[in-house]
Amino acid sequence: MKLLSFLNFLISIIFVVCYSYQLLYIPVVWFFKNKHEKKIKENRGEITLHRFAAIICARNEEKVIGDLINSLKSQTYPQEYLTIVVMADNCTDKTAEIAESLGAVVYTRFNDTLVGKGYALDELFRDHLTVDYKDVFDGYFIFDADNILAADYVERMNEKFCDGSDVITSYRNSKNFDSGWVAAGCGLWFLRESRYLNNARAILGVSGAVSGTGYLFSQKVLDTYEGRWPFHLLTEDIEFSIDWISKGHKIDICTDAVFYDEQAVKLSQSFRQRARWSRGYLQVLRKYFFVLMKGIFTFNFSCFDFFMNIAPAYILSLASIISNISLSIIGLCYGDNPLIAVGSIAQLLLNSYLIAFLVGIITVITEWKMIRASSFKKIMAAFTFPIFMLTFIPVAVAALFVKVKWKPIEHEESIDERKKKGKETDY
């Protein structure tokens, strides 16, 4: 069992070496956020109105797509500069009809072979927007159908766009944080990503990352990829982010632009979603490993940062699990006290819980006013967040062996449904 203790100690040291820099992100936000934002506003020139396309790829989203379109039509930004475009992707419900009735430009797609958001975006740009709207738009927003935007979202993003950023992500909040511990866990994950990853990176002048939805990119980006969207892996957002920074560019964030999305409520839904993410990380790692290594050895901090987020945690977690179980079984076979093995695994889980709790409670406290939930549910979320994070362990293992495909997550938390349940709908 000495070997087991040493191995756990070694893995812990490697974790500290790999991720201690992310702990420094926290005081960076605390002490330099206001100064950073003040500097940006002081250096900002004249605000120009740009023409944007708000793109929504939707598959059987009739319950929620109307809320997103209505929030886009209620923006403080002039409507004549904003075109809502919906790609109804393999829909068998009334998504296309509802979107069209609300004034969106609607395209339809039926392809059960090339499945996924990346393929839908590629077809939309290649076959439709570059043909029907050539040289019309200055930039493109990417949204998921379950999103709802703060009323000034586009206005705030346009201000950032005027600063010269070609890719901008925004502050990702949750519209159903109060719908259970699974939804709260995922909601905290994204709040932490917005504030203590992307916001900190922006303050330090390095690149952030886009995260599935709620981002804007310029026509320059589309031109770089010759009018296509060539990102088709299970995590096409991370694929795009790494490809963009590997070309020497940055991804910025506008924390003043807030949007809300719906998190999975059932653990089974969350498992399926995160299994796709885990397998997608492996796909991205396989495709961009040497690109990231080249960036790391040429002192591109963003390449190091991205590599840390998609590789070591996943690999080290699996190594820790496998080694603990294997060595515990071997020890028991040779007559070791079973309590030693149990204690070692318990200590590993306890340490993991405490670290995740620290991250969760810091996020809850600092983002308290942003979280749409009662005080009790906010506090409880800090305690259940580590449990949510620990469920990544079976997800990561399953992603290695189970065939993972892109499947839509059914969304049900429309504004009308939340009203019926007496939940908050003021976004």
Does the pLDDT at position 327 exceed 70? no
- Which of 3.40.47.10, 3.40.1010.20, 3.90.550.10, 3.30.1360.20 is the CATH number of 1-427? 3.90.550.10
Q: What pLDDT does 245 receive? A: 94
Half-sphere exposure of 303 (CA within 13 A, CB side): 19
For the segment 110-138, the average pLDDT, to the nearest whole number, is 94
Nearest alpha carbon to residue 25 among 310, 252, 362 = 362
Q: What pLDDT does 410 receive? A: 76
Q: Which residues contact 108 (CB under 8 A, 6 or more apart)?
A: 87, 88, 91, 96
Angle at 310 between CA 308 and CA 312, to 5 degrees: 55
CB neighbour burial string for 49-81, b if at least 16 within 10 angstroms, e if fewer: ebebbbbbbbbbbbbbbbbbbebbeebebeeee
CA–CA dist 310, 280 (Å, integer) = 9
Tell me the residue type at 123.
E
The set of long-range contacts for 40-47, using a CB threshold of 8 Å and a minimum separation of 24, is: 40/163, 43/163, 44/159, 44/162, 44/163, 45/162, 46/162, 47/158, 47/159, 47/162
Angle at 224 between CA 219 and CA 228, to 5 degrees: 80
More confident residue, 368 or 322: 368
87 touches 121 (CB < 8 A): yes
pTM: 0.91
For the segment 202-214, the average pLDDT, to the nearest whole number, is 95
Q: How confident is the model at residue 19 (pLDDT cuts 50, 70, 90)?
A: confident
For the segment 290-305, the average pLDDT, to the nearest whole number, is 92
Q: Where are the domains of the chain?
A: 1-427
Nearest alpha carbon to residue 426 among 213, 181, 260 = 260
